[in-house]
Amino acid sequence: MEQLFISLHGIKSLSPGLETWLRSKLKKARFKKGDQILKEGQICRNIYFLESGLIRVFQLVKENGDLREKTSWIQNEGEIFISVNSFFNQAPSLEYIEALEDCIVWYITFEELEKACSLYPEFDRHASVIKSQYYTIGYERSQAWKKPNKERYLYFLEKQPWLLSRVSNEHVASYMGFSPTTFFTVRKELAKGK
């Protein structure tokens, strides 16, 4: 939990009242590798802070008549995660959230987040910065997916150098927007210095 408060204080110092209120509402949960934290069709009712572990957010998409997973986010410790549209609109999710490693998370509900902003208007600043960071990262990733293969591969490894050591090649390929064949070809070419 302390990592979360260090992050929040890094945005703007929390008043003692807000910090006490948040500490009283935050709940701890553990997920095992492979657990689905959220399934398609469920409403994302919680906003999570990942204390340890890895998660991925993905959708099932139909391609050439087959269903395949398309990974849109892979996040590690120290990051906040939600199903964006589902959480902010309290609508059924189009995505899944899966634990890629054993995870420890801290969370509050949508209603508790709304209440925090109502009781402590200063918390709006934190919410605004976090939303802005999420949007910026999402935009940068969408731009990266438009890059040529080698540039895209290098972009993701620069931003998340731990990817290849902690995530399966299948999930990394999906996250980078590659077929498995293209992913291995790009890796091989870069390893040879082409």
Supply the pLDDT for residue 36.
Answer: 97
Under a CB-based contact definition with an 8 Å cutoff, are residues 76 and 115 in contact?
Answer: no
The sign of the torsion formed by the CA atoms of 143, 145, 151, 155 equals: positive
Using one digit for the tens of pLDDT, what is the confidence trace for 111-163? 999 999 999 999 988 888 888 888 888 888 888 888 888 999 999 889 999 98
Comparison of pLDDT for 36 and 7, the residue scoring more: 36
Q: Quick one: pLDDT at residue 134? A: 83
Q: b or e along 56-85 (b: 16 or more beta carbons within 10 Å of the residue's beta carbon)?
A: bbbbeeeeeeeeeeebbbbbbbebbbbbbe
Residues 56, 72: Cα–Cα separation, whole Å: 8
- Express each pLDDT in 38-76 by its tens digit: 999 999 999 999 999 999 999 999 888 888 899 999 999
